[in-house]
Structure 1
Amino acid sequence: MKNIVITGTSRGIGFELAQQFANEGHKVLALSRNTKPLETVNHKNITTISVDLSSENDINKAVDFIKNEWNKVDILINNAGKLINKPFEELTTQDFEEVYKVNVFAVAELTKNLLPFMNKGSHVVTVSSMGGIQGSAKFAGLAAYSSAKGAVITLSELLAEEYKEQQIAFNVLALGAVQTEMLEEAFPGYIAPLSAKEMANYIYDFALRGNKFYNGKVLQVSSSTP
């Protein structure tokens, strides 16, 4: 039984992941602005906290829970993401800041705050996108989102190096097309070959076992891109 922290659990992959870990007997701390979907599930192994990841005070709510209730984190899954789909010339500095706050700065802040609770064998998994992979297909309208997903890949590679002596692993999964609400925001009408639940199954296994085989790596988990 492990203690798992997952962000972005109100819908899509994060929603499915939280339930899968809980159903297998692990304790889950689910962080999302909207906690109602998982509160409706009402699973005894899931604790929900309403968190705006762009707020340092909100992140402290999660840290306080871990300090008081768990005192240990085995797996952190940085799954939350924000996407703004606009032509580049219409993107504002505020748009970029909003996207980077969730996709990059919040990943750094939450990870930094949870590291004191991680021991040898802990695993930090960050969900990125094929759009953040250098040389991959790029799509108009996603300048803020895809560049942020590229930034978080480099951040994870650096953290793997910095914490390798503590034997805390950092890996990134760069996802291709998965049928989620966010995919619909980016590519309206596109039908992906994978469901959120199918991708959650993969991430579940990788989070539990991938750190035995990988550290500082970016795995391209993509059977298709739009």
Structure 2
Amino acid sequence: MKNVVITGTSRGIGYELAKLFANQNHNVLAISRNTEPLVALNHKNIKTLSVDLCKNDEILQVTEFVKNNWKQVDILINNAGKLVNKPFTELTSDDFLEVYKVNVFGVAELTKSLIPYLQKGSHVVTISSMGGIQGSMKFPGLAAYSSAKGAVITLSELLAEEYKEQQIAFNVLALGAVQTEMLQEAFPGFQAPVSAEEMANYIYNFSLTGHQFYNGKILQVSSTTP
């Protein structure tokens, strides 16, 4: 039984991940602004917290929960993401900031707050995008989103180096097209070959075993472009 923290659990991959871990008898702390979908499940292994990752004072709720209930975290999955789809000349500084607050700053702040509770053998998995991979195909309208996803890749590589002696693993999964609400925001009408449930199953297995083989690595999990 693992103690698992997952962000972005109100829909899509995060929601499916929370259910999957809980159904396999792991303890799940599900973090999202909207907790209603998982609260409605009423699963004994899922605890929900309504947290805006853009607000550091709200992230303190997570550390308080861990300190008072678990004492340690085995797996952290940074899954929450924000996307703005606009032509570059229409993007404002506030658009960039809002995207980076969730996709980069929130990841950094939450991870930092949980470092004291990560032990030897803990695994931090950050969900990025093929759009953040240097040399991959890029798409108009996603300048803020894709650049943020590139930034979080570099952040994870650095953290893997910084915490390798503590044997805390940091890896990134750069996802291709998955049939989620966010995909529709980026590519309206596009039908992905992979469902949120199927991708959640892949991430579930990687989170449990990937740190035995990888640290500081970016795995490209994509069968199509986009």
Q: TM-score, normalised by structure 2?
A: 1.00
Displacement of 1:121 after TM fit? Answer: 0.1
Displacement of 1:184 after TM fit? Answer: 0.2
Map of 2:182 onto structure 1: 182
Distance 1:165 1:69 in 2: 27
Map of 1:72 onto structure 2: 72
Map of 1:165 onto structure 2: 165
Distance 1:127 1:82 in 2: 12
Q: Deviations over 1:149-205 (max 9, x none)?
A: 000000000000000000000000000000000000000000000000000000000
Q: Which amino acid aligns with 2:23?
A: N
Distance 2:100 2:41 in 1: 30
Displacement of 1:225 after TM fit? Answer: 1.8
Q: Deviations over 1:66-122 (max 9, x none)?
A: 111111000000000000000000000000000000000000000000010011000
Q: Give the RMSD, CA atoms, in angstroms.
A: 0.3
Displacement of 1:210 after TM fit? Answer: 0.1
Q: Which runs of 5+ in 1 are unaligned?
A: none
Distance 1:219 1:31 in 2: 24
Q: TM-score, normalised by structure 1?
A: 1.00
Q: Which amino acid aligns with 1:111?
A: T
**What is the SS of the residue equivalent to 1:119?**
strand
Map of 1:32 onto structure 2: 32
Distance 1:131 1:167 in 2: 29
Q: Which amino acid aligns with 2:200?
A: A
Distance 2:62 2:151 in 1: 24
Distance 1:105 1:62 in 2: 16
Q: Any residues of structure 2 matched to 1:60-99 within 5 Å, and which?
A: 60-99=60-99
Map of 1:113 onto structure 2: 113
User: Is 2:223 aligned against 1:217?
Assistant: no
Distance 2:195 2:18 in 1: 15
Q: Any residues of structure 2 matched to 1:7-156 within 5 Å, and which?
A: 7-156=7-156
**What is the SS of the residue equivalent to 2:120?**
coil
User: How many equivalent pairs are there?
Assistant: 226
Distance 1:63 1:86 in 2: 35
Distance 1:42 1:79 in 2: 22
Distance 1:52 1:225 in 2: 31
Distance 1:222 1:94 in 2: 30
Q: Which runs of 5+ in 2 are unaligned?
A: none
Map of 2:205 onto structure 1: 205
